[in-house]
Amino acid sequence: MNHKSLILIIDDEPQIRKLLEITLESEGYKTLMAATAHEGMALAAGHQPDMILLDLGLPDLDGQEVLKRLREWYAAPIIMLTVKNTESDIVTALDHGANDYMTKPFRTQELLARIRTGLRNVVTKTAQPLIVFGDCSIDVQARVVKKAEQIIKLTATEYALLVLLAQNEGSVLTHQYLLKEVWGNAYADQTQYLRVFVAQLRKKIEADANHPKYIITESGIGYRFNTG
């Protein structure tokens, strides 16, 4: 874990800010606090934090709009904190560029795990041409996938989907995003394609396709890749 990572919390609830400040700093992180959207965006621009925890319900600007504005220039992970737990709110936030989400009230240990994954993923995406999870590996340059040292035969589409998921480990990718990236814009609503290919991948990489460890379903929203 990077004990020097700077995390910006944008949340209008004083008790939430205090809880997060105490929790994160006890884990070795540095923190910045903002109670409004405009204050948060100014701090983000001035300090370039390694991660942002962003509340959707801010008093001066809707969190979805804040997310869109941040994503015009900010590339590091953003985790949404929200009391809005409808699928449409969550999908919209993820499509606007959030890496992950947690609904309030949240468990601090789960949030810390999501933070560690998000920060680790930043390093992994730039530094590892070889992605390893369990007894599987993906050699991105050679386009070779192995399980227990045996090469797994994947179609081009299966490979593209697996790499996209694995390179975004820990992030929730929506159905629409995956379909557009792998199949193209014309297939954005064809969720049955995705279900079929995810099922095929699970049969090839999971020890038990009915109880997947790596490709995790976010019900009604999309999928999250977990390296275990």
Same domain, 118 and 69: yes
Note the pTM of the prediction, 2 decimals. 0.72
- Annotate 85-102 with b (16+ C-beta within 10 A) or e (fewer): eeeebbbbbbbbebbbbb
Split into its structural domains, the chain has a count of 2
What CATH number does residue 149 fall under?
1.10.10.10
pLDDT tens digits in sequence order for the chain, 228 residues long: 445 899 999 999 999 999 999 999 999 999 999 999 999 999 999 999 999 999 998 999 999 999 999 998 898 899 999 887 678 888 888 888 898 999 888 899 999 999 988 888 765 555 467 889 999 999 988 889 999 999 999 988 999 999 999 988 888 999 989 998 998 888 878 888 899 999 999 999 999 999 999 999 998 899 999 886
In this structure, is residue 95 part of a structural domain?
Answer: yes
Same domain, 117 and 135: no
Residue 111 lies in domain: 6-124
- Confidence (pLDDT) at 191: 87
Which of 124, 153, 177 terminates a domain? The answer is: 124
Same domain, 116 and 197: no
In this structure, is residue 184 part of a structural domain?
Answer: yes
Same domain, 110 and 195: no
Which of 77, 106, 124 terminates a domain? The answer is: 124
CA distance 132 to 146: 9
Same domain, 14 and 88: yes
In this structure, is residue 1 part of a structural domain?
Answer: no
What CATH number does residue 60 fall under?
3.40.50.2300
Which of 74, 95, 124 terminates a domain? The answer is: 124
Same domain, 80 and 170: no
DSSP for 177-212? HHHHHHT-GGGTT-HHHHHHHHHHHHHHH-S-TTS-
Secondary structure of residue 135 in the 3-state scheme: coil
- Confidence (pLDDT) at 1: 44
